[in-house]
């Protein structure tokens, strides 16, 4: 079967033990979060070189907290737990995360972790798109050292992250934006069990006059090797008073920043057209939450 | 008249195996194992068309744990056709497959097999087998395959045309001349898989006399025995196929022999150990699938809405081997395309073509879903264009109750309530309030559509060379219960429960007093496969006959013991009473006890003799075919919502009306309809197996690649209207349900989409991209 070279299943209880196991196996050690992505890799025979699995359940990385500043989410928090965060129900600025969490199938929600979903660097997942629009910051810890990075810095390419062997994501932080802000997320899917054909998340802040103070537009699902932001669309909106026409115009502009692919889910042309449609819908959805 | 005083039939009983299945299903063949069992794996060709020049297995054989390796030279080269429902030597089928062959005709065809102590070792061994292939040109498109100069897939089959069946009635050209309008269109369907849950699995064991015993997830016990014996060159008595209590789905797929059954037997004979094979999901995908078809349909019509002529042609990709191609296209033509609607002039021409694609197989509906998509879509086009009401229009052109059966005029449509299906379904859906085509506003538009299937089967009586007899054995126990044994395979639709209900009703026992007792081909009477729409009607009939036989024997013993007249006795809920004097009663248990007791019984009052007449196990037995092939009739109405910006379609509601003669178990019947709709929505909107256009390799390996509707895509409202027309030839009036509920959804959905957005899509699946393209938005 797929894990033909597996020699060790490590269950570290301290960061030091993670480093020890990682040092022993180097690139052939794989961190195990909820295992839902790893399971798929294994079933497809893509883990034939892996020698050690490092199960990080005993590191105490699950949990979440909300403060006036924002939200902190431990890397091992599952989607199902995260859904229970009370702020999701009330805070308009977290709308994108709330929306994104409605899509994964229940079985996945019960096991998939926040750390795993971003470390996978898979452009077809939903929560990372929402996190990018929400300007997520990550705490990464390795042998002794801790560092803070932005989510975009984590993505090194298709299924590749920028972590060093033995480095872990320990926490995701979402800072509450200033002013009147709201966010929204939409996924276009073939079936409820499937990954995104395309998805889009937006976060927008406006002043009292309805002028856009800040906007972040993120797209995922086969529109690039990683989840991407649309600078072109953002530029059109920033500093402007938002109207239906302007939103439509900005949504059209996302085409300039994405490179849609063709696969069994959809053609590139369809993805391109849909990226525009759902960006517009997500913008409108966010705006409706401002009021 | 419908019998109304039934105790068990018609009741929403709980399946006997429900709980057991939910907690893992001990009885599923995939959970079966034998001590010391080896594990088999197949090496598959990466090429779609090739000749094997050389196979070197020496490295594989040296791997520790490998017990045997097989290549084409090690297996009997007896050509076979995998279809179970026809005799192995039937003149009506083409035998062109081998267990392992030197010629590869589709990517993924097995070329060698290994048995090893573990699955991992077997898989590793495959990588150590060196095969030298001579690649041959391949062709995947049936139209290309027919062209001059296309690669020859089977020696001597010119232009790869396997068969060109046809039929005609009247003078179709004259009919088109009589027509006021002519409609014409081409309708295409794709390759889809049944997606049964339990993989194909088998364990073969061979004894020292060379007798083979096989445990398998197959849908036909006797077919398995027959094919095993045939391909191995053995008499059938040398093979025993053991019945699993239930199988995790078939939907038609498992009424075929795969490669694993014969390979496991050969490897078992060689190693003297039991050998198990289990397909991966990928192997299941490439085992067999519904035949893609291209139907050209032309209809002549009079101003009054009657047909003057119907012409159709069908191109069927039968794939690398004949398998079902020549058979499925006939059922498709007669029961799918032509006979459901009356027309004085008809003609149909079929072409069955070889390609280097994976094998075609049976799939619930057997050629009719492809046909109904064409016929029911075109009727909708006609009605839309000429302003006919689709329901009245259909009633004008379909058979009536009491008409001779269009396939075999010796039978009559004794029970036949298509009119009720159409009218009641329409009323429930609110058909009369249906909006005009394309009149909805907004980005998301709703539409209502319907489709009917006027003629279908309840079995296969009347078809040439197709098995259609069933048998059953009923034995009564001293505790007043009964065992029912039947070779029918319960493939998940609840056949066992249905058959127990029929037996209980006939015997006068409570439902839970009858238990299905599995057997094997050594001790069960023959039964045709679990396929077509036959089990309730045909196997059910045999069960009822066996139960009646047992009841007759029971009452005869009771009459002796009770000193009553047999004709005066009746049995109900486990009690035998003299009609009119209920005080004279005896329980079934007591009667059976007397029959099973010794000649002299010592009781509280001392020894008392029993009579010879009472002695012996009370049982009943049957082996019969039903006298006819009763037709169900169905109509389905659906409401959809089309997002005209994304092209996505959501089925919001479905109303399904079906004349099934009699509902035996309403819960199971609803389950059939829901499952049929689920497969129908998949066929209509999303399912499609994908292949590499260069190599023909199947790119669909699991359910991340293969899109089928989940619970979320299902309409929250599925309403069943079961019409009980009481079929006189069926057990307690029952006829069939199983397949029609998958035949109608695709055209009903296509018609609803048309109603919503005014765009007609004539090829399945109706993907968002096709919709946007048709709307001019992509
Ligand atoms: C059937 C199915 C449906 C799905 N549907 C959706 C959907 O609708 N929407 C959606 O967003 N997603 C969906 N997913 C994807 C799902 O979200 C991911 O599989 C999941 O988030 C991965 O998290 P995990 O904890 O299971 O990661 P794992 O499988 O354990 O790991 C994933 C990767 O991250 C690494 N890793 C894990 N944790 C850490 C850490 N803390 N630090 C560093 N590296 C780490 C692992 O080594 C591995 O490379 C679906 C998945 C499946 C199988």
The DSSP line for A167-232 is -EEEEEEEEPPSSEEEEEEEEEESSTTS-EEEEEEEEEEE-TTSBEEEEEEEEESSSSSS-EE-HH
Q: Is residue B446 part of a domain?
A: no
DSSP secondary structure code for residue B704 in this structure: T
Structure tokens at B593: 């006890």
> Å from A265 to nearest chain B CA?
8
List the single residue in B with minimal CA-CA distance to A266.
B769
Contacts of A191 in chain B (CB under 8 A): 686, 707-710, 712-713
Contact B43, B126 (CB under 8 A): yes
Please list, in sequence order, all residues whose beta carbon lies within 8 angstroms of the beta carbon of residue B581, skipping any fewer than 6 positions away: none
Q: What is the ipTM of this complex?
A: 0.95
Structure tokens at B62: 């040296």
Domain assignments of chain A as residue spans, ordered by start: 8-57, 59-175, 180-290
CATH of A8-57, one of 3.40.50.200, 3.40.50.720, 3.30.43.10, 3.40.30.10: 3.30.43.10
Can you tell me the distance from the alpha carbon of B445 to that of A90, in angstroms, rounded to the nearest whole number? 32
Contact B730, B540 (CB under 8 A): yes
Beta bridge partners of B446: B641
Please list, in sequence order, all residues whose beta carbon lies within 8 angstroms of the beta carbon of residue B405, skipping any fewer than 6 positions away: B411, B412, B413, B628, B629, B631
* A55 CB neighbour count, 10 Å cutoff: 15
Contact B762, B646 (CB under 8 A): no
Using alpha carbons, select from B82, B43, B102 the residue that is nearest to residue B318.
B82
Please list, in sequence order, all residues whose beta carbon lies within 8 angstroms of the beta carbon of residue B415, skipping any fewer than 6 positions away: B401, B630, B659, B661, B725, B726, B727, B728, B733, B735
Start-to-end Cα distance in chain B: 57
**pLDDT over threshold 70, residue A50:** yes
Q: Is residue B722 part of a domain?
A: no
Out of B647, B690, B707, the one facing A194 most closely (by C-beta) is B707
Q: Which of A44, A193, A279 to mutate to test the interface with B (most CBs of B within 10 A)?
A: A193
Give, for B633, the enclosing helix (H) or strand (E). Answer: strand B633-643
| B439 phi and psi angles, rounded to 5 deg | -85, -10
**pLDDT over threshold 90, residue A143:** no
Classify residue B565 by burial, with Cβ atoms within 10 Å: 0-12, 13-18, 19+.
exposed
Find out whether the beta carbon of A31 lies less than 6 Å from any atom of ligand 1. Answer: yes
Query: What class is the A59-175 domain?
Result: alpha beta
Q: How many structural domains compose chain B?
A: 2
Q: Is residue B314 part of a domain?
A: no
Which residues does chain B have with pLDDT short of 70?
Answer: 1-4
DSSP secondary structure code for residue B537 in this structure: I
Contacts of B686 in chain A (CB under 8 A): 190-191
Please list, in sequence order, all residues whose beta carbon lies within 8 angstroms of the beta carbon of residue B736, skipping any fewer than 6 positions away: B456, B457, B458, B459, B532, B533, B534, B536, B537, B630, B632, B660
> Å from A144 to nearest chain B CA?
39
**pLDDT over threshold 80, residue A2:** no
CA of A112 to the centre of ligand 1 (A): 5
Q: Do B710 and A105 touch (CB under 8 A)?
A: yes
| B294 phi and psi angles, rounded to 5 deg | -120, 120
| A93 phi and psi angles, rounded to 5 deg | -70, -20
Give, for B742, the enclosing helix (H) or strand (E). Answer: helix B740-743
Can you tell me the distance from the alpha carbon of B745 to that of B372, in angstroms, rounded to the nearest whole number? 9
Using alpha carbons, select from B384, B409, B385, B390 the residue that is nearest to residue B399.
B409
Structure tokens at B698: 């199947």
Virtual torsion, Cα B243, B248, B253, B254, nearest 10 deg: -10
Contact B613, B558 (CB under 8 A): no
Contact A167, A138 (CB under 8 A): no
CA separation (Å) from B249 to A154, A193, B196, B494? Answer: 44, 21, 5, 11
Domain extent for B72: 32-136+194-285
Structure tokens at B195: 């997606």
Using H for helix, E for strand and C for coil, what is the string for B434-481?
CCCCCCCCCCEEEEEEEEEECCCCCCCCCCCCCCCCEEEEEEECCCCC
Find the CATH number of the domain harbouring B473: 3.30.365.10
List the single residue in B with minimal CA-CA distance to A189.
B648
Contact A24, A32 (CB under 8 A): no
Contacts of A190 in chain B (CB under 8 A): 686, 707
Query: Which pLDDT value is given to residue B4?
Result: 67
Structure tokens at B202: 């088998």
Can you tell me the distance from the alpha carbon of B438 to that of B755, in angstroms, rounded to the nearest whole number? 6
CA separation (Å) from B773 to A65, B645, B759? Answer: 47, 11, 10
E-assigned strand segments in B376-453: 444-453
Query: Which pLDDT value is given to residue A145?
Result: 85
Contact B159, B146 (CB under 8 A): yes
| A186 phi and psi angles, rounded to 5 deg | -135, 135
Q: What CATH number was assigned to the domain covering residues A180-290?
A: 3.30.390.50
Can you tell me the distance from the alpha carbon of B221 to that of B495, in angstroms, rounded to the nearest whole number? 15
Using alpha carbons, select from B343, B280, B415 the residue that is nearest to residue B723.
B415
Q: What is the pLDDT of residues A205-260, one digit of tens each?
A: 999 998 999 999 999 999 999 999 999 999 999 999 999 999 999 999 999 999 99
Q: Calculate helix-pair angle for B221-232, B260-271, nearest 10 degrees.
A: 60
Q: What is the pLDDT of residues A74-118, one digit of tens each?
A: 999 999 999 999 999 999 999 999 999 999 999 999 999 999 999
The three-class DSSP label of residue A118 is helix
Find the CATH number of the domain harbouring B208: 3.90.1170.50
The three-class DSSP label of residue B55 is strand
Taking one residue from A and the other from B, the number of pairs with CB-CB distance under 8 angstroms is 51
Query: Which pLDDT value is given to residue A291?
Result: 67
Out of A188, A191, A277, the one facing B710 most closely (by C-beta) is A191
Contact B59, B142 (CB under 8 A): no
Structure tokens at B697: 């390799």
* A263 CB neighbour count, 10 Å cutoff: 15
Contact B722, B736 (CB under 8 A): no
Contact B290, B682 (CB under 8 A): no
Q: Is B772 on the interface with A (CB under 8 A)?
A: yes
Contact B704, B364 (CB under 8 A): no
The three-class DSSP label of residue B641 is strand
DSSP readout, B123-145? HHHHTT-EEEEEE------HHHH
Beta bridge partners of B717: B653
Q: Which of A41, A267, A274, A275 to mutate to test the interface with B (most CBs of B within 10 A)?
A: A274
Can you tell me the distance from the alpha carbon of B275 to that of B279, in angstroms, rounded to the nearest whole number? 13
Q: Residue written as tokens 């492809």?
A: B370
CA of A195 to the centre of ligand 1 (A): 12
**pLDDT over threshold 60, residue A141:** yes
Q: Do B778 and A273 touch (CB under 8 A)?
A: yes
Give, for A278, the enclosing helix (H) or strand (E). Answer: helix A268-290
DSSP readout, B57-107? -HHHHHSTTEEEEE-GGGS----B--BTTS-TT-TTS---B-SS-SEE-ST
Can you tell me the distance from the alpha carbon of B598 to that of B611, in angstroms, rounded to the nearest whole number? 10
CA of A19 to the centre of ligand 1 (A): 22
């Amino acid at each position: 079967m797929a894990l033909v070279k597996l020699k060790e299943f490590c269950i570290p209880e301290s960061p030091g033990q993670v480093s020890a196991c990682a040092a022993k196996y180097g690139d052939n050690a794989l961190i195990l979060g909820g295992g839902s992505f790893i399971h798929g890799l294994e079933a497809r025979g893509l883990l034939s070189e892996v020698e050690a699995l490092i199960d990080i359940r005993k590191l105490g990385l699950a949990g979440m907290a909300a403060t006036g500043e924002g939200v902190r989410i431990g890397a091992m928090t599952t989607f199902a737990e995260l859904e229970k965060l009370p702020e999701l129900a009330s805070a308009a600025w977290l709308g994108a995360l709330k929306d994104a969490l409605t899509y994964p199938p229940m079985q996945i929600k019960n096991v998939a972790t926040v750390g795993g979903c971003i470390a996978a660097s898979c452009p077809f997942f939903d929560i990372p798109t929402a996190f990018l629009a929400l300007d997520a910051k990550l705490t990464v810890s390795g042998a002794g050292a801790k560092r803070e990075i932005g989510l975009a810095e984590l993505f090194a390419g298709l299924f590749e992250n920028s972590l060093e062997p033995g480095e872990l994501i320990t926490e995701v932080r979402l800072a509450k934006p200033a002013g009147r802000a709201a966010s929204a997320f939409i996924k276009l899917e073939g079936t409820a069990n499937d990954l995104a054909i395309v998805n889009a998340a937006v976060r927008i802040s406006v002043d009292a006059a309805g002028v856009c103070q800040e906007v972040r537009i993120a797209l995922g699902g086969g529109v690039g090797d990683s989840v991407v932001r649309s600078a072109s669309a953002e530029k059109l909106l920033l500093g402007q008073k938002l109207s239906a026409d302007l939103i439509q115009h900005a949504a059209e502009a996302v085409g300039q920043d994405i490179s849609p692919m063709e696969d069994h889910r959809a053609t590139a042309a369809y993805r391109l057209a849909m990226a525009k449609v759902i960006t517009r819908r997500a913008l409108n959805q966010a705006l409706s939450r401002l009021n | 008249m419908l019998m109304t005083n039934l105790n068990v039939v018609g009741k929403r009983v709980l399946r006997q195996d429900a709980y057991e299945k939910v907690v893992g299903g001990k009885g599923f063949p995939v959970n079966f194992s034998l001590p010391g069992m080896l594990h088999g794996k197949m090496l598959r060709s990466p090429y779609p068309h090739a000749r094997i020049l050389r196979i070197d297995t020496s490295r594989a054989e040296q791997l520790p744990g490998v017990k045997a390796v097989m290549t084409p030279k090690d297996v009997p080269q007896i050509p076979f056709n995998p279809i179970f429902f026809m005799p192995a030597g039937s003149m009506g089928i083409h035998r062109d497959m081998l267990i392992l062959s030197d010629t590869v005709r589709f990517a993924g065809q097995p070329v060698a097999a290994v048995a090893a102590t573990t699955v991992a070792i077997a898989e590793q061994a495959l990588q150590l087998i060196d095969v030298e292939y001579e690649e041959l040109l391949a062709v995947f498109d049936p139209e290309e395959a027919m062209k001059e100069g296309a690669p020859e897939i089977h020696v001597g089959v010119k232009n790869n045309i396997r068969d060109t069946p046809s039929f005609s009635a009247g003078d179709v050209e004259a009919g088109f001349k009589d027509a006021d309008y002519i409609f014409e269109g081409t309708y295409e369907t794709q390759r889809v898989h049944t997606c049964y849950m339990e993989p194909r699995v088998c364990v073969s064991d061979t004894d020292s006399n060379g007798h083979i015993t096989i445990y398998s997830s197959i849908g036909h016990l006797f077919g398995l025995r027959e094919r095993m014996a045939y391909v191995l060159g053995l008499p059938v008595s040398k093979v025993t196929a053991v019945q699993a209590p239930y199988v995790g789905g078939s939907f038609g797929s498992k009424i075929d022999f795969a490669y694993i059954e014969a390979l496991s037997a050969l490897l078992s004979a060689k190693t003297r150990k039991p050998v198990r094979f289990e397909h991966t999901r990928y192997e299941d995908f490439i085992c067999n699938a519904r035949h893609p078809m291209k139907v050209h349909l032309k209809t002549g019509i009079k101003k009054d809405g009657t047909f003057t002529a119907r012409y159709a042609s069908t191109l069927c990709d039968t794939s690398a081997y004949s398998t079902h191609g020549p058979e499925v296209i006939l059922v498709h033509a007669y029961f799918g395309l032509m006979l459901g609607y009356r027309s004085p002039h008809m003609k149909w021409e079929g072409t069955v073509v070889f390609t280097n694609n994976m094998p075609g197989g049976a799939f619930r509906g057997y050629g009719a879903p492809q046909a109904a998509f064409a016929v029911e879509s075109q009727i909708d086009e006609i009605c839309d264009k000429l302003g006919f009401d689709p329901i009245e229009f259909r009633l004008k052109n379909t058979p009536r109750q009491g008409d001779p059966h269009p396939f075999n005029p010796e039978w009559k449509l004794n029970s036949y309530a298509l009119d009720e299906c159409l009218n009641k379904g329409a009323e429930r859906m609110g058909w009369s309030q249906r909006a005009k085509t394309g009149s909805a506003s907004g980005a998301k538009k709703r539409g209502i559509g319907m489709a009917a299937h006027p003629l279908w089967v309840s079995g296969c009586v009347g078809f040439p060379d197709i098995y259609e007899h069933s048998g059953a054995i009923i034995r009564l126990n001293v505790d007043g219960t009964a065992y029912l044994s039947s070779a029918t395979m319960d493939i998940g639709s609840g056949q066992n429960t249905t058959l127990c209900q029929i037996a209980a009703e006939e015997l006068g026992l409570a439902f839970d007093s009858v238990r299905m007792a599995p057997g094997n081909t050594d001790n069960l009477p023959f039964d045709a496969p679990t396929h077509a729409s036959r089990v309730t009607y045909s196997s059910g009939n045999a069960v009822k006959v066996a139960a009646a036989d047992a009841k007759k024997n029971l009452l005869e013993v009771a009459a002796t013991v009770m000193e009553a007249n047999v004709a005066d006795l009746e049995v109900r809920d486990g009690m035998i009473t003299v009609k009119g004097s209920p005080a004279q009663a005896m329980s079934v248990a007591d009667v059976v006890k007397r029959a099973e007791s010794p000649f002299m019984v010592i009781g509280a009052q001392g020894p008392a003799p029993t009579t010879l007449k009472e002695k012996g196990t009370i049982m009943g037995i049957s082996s019969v075919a039903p006298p006819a092939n009763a037709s169900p009739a169905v109509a389905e109405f659906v409401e959809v919502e089309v997002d005209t910006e994304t092209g996505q379609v959501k089925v919001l509601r479905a109303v399904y009306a079906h004349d099934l003669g009699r509902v035996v178990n309403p819960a199971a019947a609803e389950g059939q309809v829901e499952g049929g709709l689920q497969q129908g929505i998949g066929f209509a909107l999303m399912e499609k197996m994908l292949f590499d256009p260069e190599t023909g390799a199947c790119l669909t390996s699991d359910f991340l690649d293969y899109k089928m509707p989940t619970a979320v895509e299902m309409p929250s409202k599925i309403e069943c209207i079961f019409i009980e027309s009481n079929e006189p030839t069926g057990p307690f009036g029952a006829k069939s349900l199983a397949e029609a509920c998958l035949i109608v959804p695709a055209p009903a959905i296509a018609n609803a989409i048309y109603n919503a957005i005014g765009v007609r899509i004539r090829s399945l699946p109706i993907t968002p991209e096709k919709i946007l393209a048709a709307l001019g938005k992509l």
